[in-house]
Homo-oligomer: A and B are copies of this chain.
C-alpha cells in the first residue's frame, strides 16, 4: 500500500527514469494480478466503467456527472463535446487524472479513452479523411503514416486507448455508418484494420503499447434495411468467410480490446451473446483482450430489445456473456448494479477476470509509469506540419473519379458553385468539426475562391439540404450556371456530429439509415435543372455512403465522389478539378443502381445472379422489373484517372507454397498518375461451400509517370487462398483462377490460372 502510493506520487511528479523500474515490476499481467489482490469488490467493479464525458462546453469539468458516476465508474475518462478545443481541455483532464493518481486509495490511474475516426474526438487536431475515404486511397503505407500521426496526436493528449478500428464490412449500403468503415471487402477491411492496430499499438522504448486499440463492432454492418441497431442473421459459414475475416486478420496484431455491436445477431443481442463472445471470439478466434459494450448497449437490453427485466438483469446477463467493460455516456450505467451480487461466486469470478483484463490493458499502455502529458509538447504535436501534409495527401488520394467525358481537368475562368454543401464541411459524424463554421476548415467555396479569385466564383445554394418544399432558389442557381458557363455542383448527404448545429439536417452517420440512396431534399431537382440548361457540369458527391446515380445524374460531364475526405477535402477537390492532382481513389463500396437493387457488393455468390428463365426471355438479369444486372456498373475497386493505364495479362506460378502473380502496368497517357493494381481469385475446384464469383487477395498502388511502366509482383502464400467450413479453416489444392486489373469489373480484369499443390 505504502509502496504503491509512492509509485503514484512519483508518476505525477517525475518526467523520466521510471521506465526501467517499471519493467522490473514484471509483466502488465503480473502487476495487474498483484494489484487485484489489494482491491475491494467495489474498486474492481469501478474499473469496469468510467466517465465518458468528463467535460462540458467551455470546456469545464461536468462536476455533477463526475460525482454521480465516480464511486462505481472510475476506470476510464473521456473528453466530452467535440467543439471544445484540445489544448483548453488538456489541463482540466490532467488535473482530474493527477488527483486520481494521488488521492485514490490504490492510486490506480484513469485511462483516457476516446473515439478516433478522422483523428481526435475533440477539436484542435488534424482532421484526416474518415475510414471510407482512407480505404479509397488503396494506399496502405499512406494509411500507416496517417494512423501514426493520429496516434501521436492522441498520445500527446494522454489518450492511450481508442475505440477503433471498425472491422465491419459495408455490405448494406443503406446503413448510415458506411463512412466509418473501410468498405465492403473483407480482405481490404482486414488489411486496413490490421495496419491500424499494428501502428497504434506500436511499443515505445520502454515496451509500452502507445495506444491500445478496440476492434469493433463485433459484428455489425448488415442490419436489416440498414437500420442502425436492426437484427442480422449470420450462419457460421457466412460469419467466418465474410464478417469475421477482418477480425481474424486484425487479431493477428493483438488488439487489446474489442467492442460488441448494437446488433441482435441471430435473435440474440450482442451484449448478451455468449455464443458469439465465448465460443466464437474467445474460443475459435483466440481473442484474449478486454471485451466491452458499445455505448449504452447493456442498458438497451432492458429498454430496447426487452431481453432483460431490469438494468441489473441486463448487467448480469452481459457479464455472464463475457462483457468486461461498459460504455455509458448518456445512459445510466448498469455494471454498478452488480454491487449487490457480492455473494454470487460466479459473478465475483467474472468481475475478477474483467478487472484483471482491464488493469493489464492499462498497465500495458504505460499509464502507471509514465508522466501525464505535457501541454507544450501537445501543442507541438497537434496539427504538426507533417500531419497536415499527410491529411492533404490522403484527401487527394481518396477522391474517386466516377465519370469524365473530357471536361476535366479544367481551370475555369468563372465557376458557379451550386448546392448547399458548397459552404459546408462534411467530414463524418465522428469528425471533430462544426460543419458550418470556418473556424474548422475551408469550404469548397473558400477553396475555389482562393484558387480562381473571389470574383470568379458565384455561389448559389439553390436548395436546402433536406427541405422538399422550397425550390425557389433553383432558378437563381441555373442563372448563375449559365452566366459562368461552368457549374460545380456539390450534392450529397450530411454526416456531422450530434452536437453540430446542423444535426437536424443530417442524413448520414451513426443512428441514420437511408431508404433512398438518392440525394436528400430537392438536390436532384437542382441538378436536373442545371443539366437541362445544358451548362457543362462537374458533379461532386459528398457523404460517407454510396449514392444512386440515375440516368439524369449520369448526364453530368464529370462526377467525383469526395466521400468524407477530412479538412483538405475542398483544397484537394480544387486541385483535382484544375488538374494539379490526378485522381487515384477507387470505390471501396459499390454504388447500387437503385436503392432497392441491393445488396450490391461485388463478391456475391454465383447463384446470387441466377434468376433462371433467361433462355425464354432472351436475356439475363437478376431483377426483371426494372431489368437490372446484379453487377453494379460502378462497383468496388472502380475509379478513373486523367491518364490511362494498361495492365498486362498476368502471369502466375506456384512455388514453395506461394502463388506469384505478376503484371506489367504502364501509364499509356500523357500525365503522371497512380493506378491500383487489384488481384482477385477463385478456386476452380469444389471446396464444400459456394465461393464468391471472385475475391480480392492483393492490391498495390503504383505511381507512374507518363509512359512509364513497372512490373508488379504479388506473392500470395497458399494460406491466403483459404476459407472456412463450419468454422474450420481449409485450403484445397487444385486449379485456381486469378485475375488482375484496375477494378472488380469483369471488363477491367485479365485472367490467369495456376495449379496449387499442397
- 10 inter-chain pairs at a CB distance below 8 angstroms, sorted by A residue, are A174-B596, A225-B599, A227-B623, A229-B612, A231-B605, A233-B233, A237-B266, A306-B686, A594-B596, A596-B598
How far does the alpha carbon of A606 sit from the alpha carbon of B231 in the complex, in Å? Answer: 9
A588 at the interface (CB under 8 A from B): no
Contact with B along A463-492 (1 / 0, CB 8 A): 000100000000000000000000000000
**In the complex the two chains form, is A630's CB within 8 Å of B227's CB?**
yes
Contact with B along A239-254 (1 / 0, CB 8 A): 0010000000000000
> Min CB distance, A683 to chain B, in Å?
9
How far does the alpha carbon of A227 sit from the alpha carbon of B606 in the complex, in Å? Answer: 12
> Min CB distance, A578 to chain B, in Å?
32
> Min CB distance, A301 to chain B, in Å?
9
- Shortest Cβ-Cβ A-B pairs, 6 listed: A235-B266, A511-B613, A595-B596, A596-B596, A515-B623, A511-B612
> Min CB distance, A577 to chain B, in Å?
27
Interface segment among A94-102, A398-406, A502-510: the answer is A502-510
How far does the alpha carbon of A605 sit from the alpha carbon of B628 in the complex, in Å? Answer: 31
**In the complex the two chains form, is B512's CB within 8 Å of A624's CB?**
yes
**In the complex the two chains form, is A624's CB within 8 Å of B268's CB?**
no
**In the complex the two chains form, is B307's CB within 8 Å of A686's CB?**
yes
**In the complex the two chains form, is B504's CB within 8 Å of A229's CB?**
no
How far does the alpha carbon of A186 sit from the alpha carbon of B513 in the complex, in Å? Answer: 27
A207 cross-chain contacts in B, Cβ below 8 A: none
**In the complex the two chains form, is A305's CB within 8 Å of B606's CB?**
yes
How far does the alpha carbon of A227 sit from the alpha carbon of B263 in the complex, in Å? Answer: 25
> Who on chain B is nearest to A265 by CB?
B235
A611 at the interface (CB under 8 A from B): yes
**In the complex the two chains form, is B231's CB within 8 Å of A234's CB?**
no
For A689, give its contact among B262, B307, B512, B618 (CB under 8 Å). B307
A232 cross-chain contacts in B, Cβ below 8 A: 233
Task: A305-B606, A498-B613 given; name 10 further pairs at CB < 8 Å.
Answer: A227-B609, A227-B630, A230-B609, A230-B610, A232-B233, A233-B234, A233-B238, A306-B686, A511-B611, A596-B598
For A231, give its contact among B498, B625, B687, B690 (CB under 8 Å). B690
How far does the alpha carbon of A517 sit from the alpha carbon of B597 in the complex, in Å? Answer: 11
**In the complex the two chains form, is A228's CB within 8 Å of B628's CB?**
no
**Which parts of A288-324 form the interface with B (CB within 8 Å)?**
300, 304-309, 313, 317
A176 cross-chain contacts in B, Cβ below 8 A: 624
In the complex with contacts A229-B611, A612-B510, A613-B498, A516-B596 CB distance below 8 A? yes
A514 cross-chain contacts in B, Cβ below 8 A: 623-625
> Who on chain B is nearest to A499 by CB?
B616
Which of A176, A313, A608: most chain B CB closer than 10 A?
A: A608
**In the complex the two chains form, is B611's CB within 8 Å of A512's CB?**
yes
> Min CB distance, A369 to chain B, in Å?
39
A344 at the interface (CB under 8 A from B): no
For A626, give its contact among B516, B599, B630, B688 (CB under 8 Å). B516
For A607, give its contact among B229, B493, B624 (CB under 8 Å). B229
**In the complex the two chains form, is B306's CB within 8 Å of A623's CB?**
no
A691 at the interface (CB under 8 A from B): yes
> Who on chain B is nearest to A302 by CB?
B686
How far does the alpha carbon of A229 sit from the alpha carbon of B686 in the complex, in Å? Answer: 19
A593 cross-chain contacts in B, Cβ below 8 A: 515
**Which parts of A710-733 form the interface with B (CB within 8 Å)?**
726
> Min CB distance, A735 to chain B, in Å?
10
How far does the alpha carbon of A625 sit from the alpha carbon of B175 in the complex, in Å? Answer: 11
A264 at the interface (CB under 8 A from B): yes
**Which parts of A601-645 form the interface with B (CB within 8 Å)?**
604-613, 616-618, 622-626, 628, 630
How far does the alpha carbon of A622 sit from the alpha carbon of B511 in the complex, in Å? Answer: 9
> Min CB distance, A525 to chain B, in Å?
14
How far does the alpha carbon of A685 sit from the alpha carbon of B310 in the complex, in Å? Answer: 10
A414 cross-chain contacts in B, Cβ below 8 A: none
**In the complex the two chains form, is B685's CB within 8 Å of A309's CB?**
yes
A599 cross-chain contacts in B, Cβ below 8 A: 224-225
A234 cross-chain contacts in B, Cβ below 8 A: 233, 235
A751 at the interface (CB under 8 A from B): no
**In the complex the two chains form, is A623's CB within 8 Å of B237's CB?**
no
A503 cross-chain contacts in B, Cβ below 8 A: 616-617
A604 cross-chain contacts in B, Cβ below 8 A: 224, 230-231
**In the complex the two chains form, is A613's CB within 8 Å of B512's CB?**
yes
A267 at the interface (CB under 8 A from B): yes
> Min CB distance, A730 to chain B, in Å?
12
